[in-house]
Each structure stands twice: as structure tokens, then as C-alpha cells.
Amino acid sequence: MGLYDHYEPVPAIDCPGCGARLDYFQGKDGPCAFLRWRQGSMHPVGFEGDPPTPSELTDYRLPDAFVFDAWCDCGHSVELTGFCSDGTWASTALGDASTAGPAIAAHEVSDGWRQCTRCAEAWACPERIGLCVCPSCRALTQLGSRPGEA
């Protein structure tokens, strides 16, 4: 067994602090066998160093939800949650959504800002990140509705 796995969200995530592209994430919610997971692939796309076990990569799967993170050079830590659909990593949320329930709506209030429909908190979040954890009430929010819509 290793200590972590390596995760590659697709599309890639930019640091919310400085905008730098983040391409090296680590997480401990998967098999922790130094595997390389890429969003959209059911099985690991590779491994770091020597194969950790004799198993073929196709023996490994991800859990339905898993948290992973990265430290940016600017000092910002970025936590993400991946979700599987039919056993394949299908979507990624900004923030730790491991204890959040199903996604609720978020409104886009202005460029790069969204508002939680549960607690009315507004915060900055890159527009192309659809799923984001509300920093106030910790709800998983999904962008897609405009103010005035349900």
C-alpha cells in the first residue's frame, strides 16, 4: 500500500488565489497505491514509480465521492471533491463536499461570483467550476440558475 494517489481533474483547476494552473493533486480517499487518476477514466491511467502491487490497474476503482487537495506556490491550499457516476470519476467540486448532501442551486450574481440559495452567502468562484461548496453553510452548490429563477 502507498500513502496517497495522484488526481488530475479534467478540465484542469486554476488556483482561486492566484490563477495558476494546478496539475498535481493528492488524496487519501482512493486506494492509496500511488495511482494516477484522471477525471473521465474508470481505472487509473498510471502509477508513480514501480507498480505498488501485482494487480492490474483495472482492479482499482474510486469510491463514489473522494476528497483530494493541492498546495499552490502562492500558499493557497485548494481542496476538491470528486464524484463517480457508474464507477467513473465524472465531476469535480471545489471544496470538501464529502459530508454535503445533494447539490443545491447557486446563482451567478456577477462575473466570477455566486450566491448560495440556502444561506444567501456570496463568494468568488471561477465561472467554469460548476460545483462548489458554500464557504458559509458548507452546502454543495451547482451553478446554473440566474437570480429570479428557482
Applying CB under 5 A, which residues contact Zn ion? 15, 17-18, 20, 72, 74, 76, 116, 118-119, 121, 134, 136-137, 139
- Residue 58 three-state SS: helix
- Least CB distance from residue 119 to Zn ion, whole Å? 3
Cβ neighbour number for residue 121 with a 10 Å cutoff: 15
- The grid cell for 135 is 464557504
Bond into 126 cis (ω within 30): no
Output 30 or 95, the one with its CB closest to Zn ion: 95
- Least CB distance from residue 129 to Zn ion, whole Å? 15
Output 65 or 72, the one with its CB closest to Zn ion: 72
Output 89 or 92, the one with its CB closest to Zn ion: 92
Residue for cell digits 440558475? Answer: 145
Question: What number of CA atoms fall less than 13 Å from residue 2's CA on the CB side?
Answer: 21
- Least CB distance from residue 86 to Zn ion, whole Å? 29
